[in-house]
Amino acid sequence: MIRTTLGAVAMAAVTTQIALAQEPVTIEFAYPYASSFDVTFDAIVPKFKEQYPNIEVKFRSAYEQYEDGTNTILRESISGNLPDVTMQGLNRQQILVEKGIARSLTPFINKEANFETDGYHAAMLKLSTFDGEVYGLPFAVSLPVGYYNMDALAQAGVTETPKTWDEMIGVCKKLIASGSNNPVYWNWAITGNWFLQSLMWTQGKPTVENDRLTLDSPEALIALKTIKSIVDGCEMKNLTPDQAVASFSAGDLPMFFSSTSSVGRVERAKSDFNFSTAAFPGLVGTPKGLPAGGNAAMLTSTSEDPEVLAAAWTWLTFITSGEGAAEVAKTTGYMPPNQAANDIILADFYGQNPNKRTAVDQLPLLSDWQAYPGANGLAITQVIYDSLEMIATGEADDMEELQEEMVEQVNDLLPAN
């Protein structure tokens, strides 16, 4: 992707335009997951205002999650009410590019003398680049991890975190025997079918190949059967993700598998127990890959005012650059995809915060969080979500039958060609 180091980037042309403005320039900005990112922007805004006092950033109501963010932008594009900068899930950028809503960042990048093209992970570059043009700068990157109440595990006679899902189910049985009535929550409901894609990438299998979904593959059936074994073997209750975070933080849920993004939230809210994160289990060992979660900042301004566009670009690059990106790691559990943030500003941070380092150690596994092809990508997401919910609620018992039904519904939504 594109890397910029805060303080090293000159931004001469951009800052000159803003400095010449007689009045403050106001831009509008929208982002998802207030529970995760409110504290991040509370830390970023004062630093931004100190450097750019003539730019006013007006925050819109936060998107509930990534699907809501994309649907909101699609509606606002019709009503002519787009924000200047929006944060979108990494797997939701393509539709905004195809519909001409997102503006290419390449013309802005080409005007900056100190931008480099080697600072972001290759998966980030691929997910935000379309037809050779950059449309998004990654803001926060996540990977799935395990959250553990080590005191509860020790009470059940467990001394090591599980490395495979079979081992995890064995830990569940020990927790149940020691009195737990809900030993684990496996976050099947997380945005974008991310956990299903995690089980696919664990096997080295992408969920989308050649613009077709691979849900009819043996790997997809293994993924469905694995989810079923977790739900049944652990007697898993069907919580919402927010309920799971709250229950884990309260000490009532011994194990929780979700995005690393919630680490900061848990650390701020948890009761008095020994909390540890550990690598995401595999089927027979270390996963072959894991999908890159998170979001990117995109320029969706409809303004042609050079001062507004310069201000929007300044905000966009600030929040994704060194010091701005470092606040992501400090306040959440996301990883900043900016190399300056990771190598310079956060040089000592991860050594002092091992629970946030777990995802960083898994970076070699980083793979695409795949978008579903065609105009019905959000509808396909919902079909898969509904199928996974049937497993979580116990409505579906036969995974071969569920797979067939899911494939049939998804195929009806795919582009004909």
Instruction: Give tens-digit pLDDT for 316-357.
Output: 989 988 778 888 888 998 887 776 677 777 878 888 999 999
Instruction: Note the pLDDT of residue 87.
Output: 97
Query: Cβ(290)–Cβ(203) under 8 Å?
Result: no
Instruction: Note the pLDDT of residue 73.
Output: 97
251 and 392 both lie in a single domain: yes
257 and 318 both lie in a single domain: no
376 and 393 both lie in a single domain: yes
7 falls within a domain: no
Side-chain-side CA neighbours of 186 within 13 Å: the count stands at 29
Give me the CATH number covering residue 41: 3.40.190.10
In 3-state terms, what secondary structure has residue 235? coil
277 and 306 both lie in a single domain: no
CA–CA separation, 240 vs 189, rounded Å?
Answer: 7
5 falls within a domain: no
214 and 315 both lie in a single domain: no
203 and 237 both lie in a single domain: yes
6 falls within a domain: no
* Tens of pLDDT, residue by residue, the chain (417 residues): 333 333 333 343 444 444 444 589 999 999 999 988 999 999 999 999 999 999 999 999 999 999 999 999 999 999 999 999 999 998 899 999 999 999 999 999 888 876 664 455 555 667 788 999 999 998 888 999 999 999 999 999 999 999 999 999 999 999 999 999 999 999 999 999 999 999 999 999 999 999 899 999 999 999 999 999 999 999 999 999 999 999 999 999 999 999 999 999 999 999 999 999 999 999 998 999 999 899 999 999 999 999 999 999 999 989 988 778 888 888 998 887 776 677 777 878 888 999 999 998 998 899 989 989 988 999 999 999 999 999 999 999 999 999 999 999 999 999 985
20 falls within a domain: yes
358 and 379 both lie in a single domain: no
Domain range holding 30? 12-142+292-366
361 and 403 both lie in a single domain: no
93 and 21 both lie in a single domain: yes
Q: Domain total for the chain?
A: 2
47 falls within a domain: yes
158 and 223 both lie in a single domain: yes
Instruction: Note the pLDDT of residue 22.
Output: 59
328 and 281 both lie in a single domain: no
- Cβ contacts of residue 384 below 8 Å, gap of 6+? 193, 196, 215, 406, 410
**Model pTM?**
0.85
3 falls within a domain: no
267 falls within a domain: yes
285 and 296 both lie in a single domain: no
- For 364-399, letters b (16+ CB in 10 Å) and e give ebbbbbbbbbbebbbebbebbbebbeebbeeebeeb
Q: Characterize the bridge pairing of strands 85-89 and 133-134.
A: unpaired
Residue with tokens 């039904």: 405
Instruction: Note the pLDDT of residue 325.
Output: 80
Query: Cβ(312)–Cβ(151) under 8 Å?
Result: no
The four Cα atoms 389, 392, 395, 399 give a dihedral, to 10 degrees, of 90
210 falls within a domain: yes
Q: Read off the pLDDT of residues 73-110 as tens digits, 9 standing for 90 and up.
A: 999 999 999 999 999 998 899 999 999 999 999 999 88
CA–CA separation, 205 vs 370, rounded Å?
Answer: 12
CA–CA separation, 179 vs 182, rounded Å?
Answer: 9
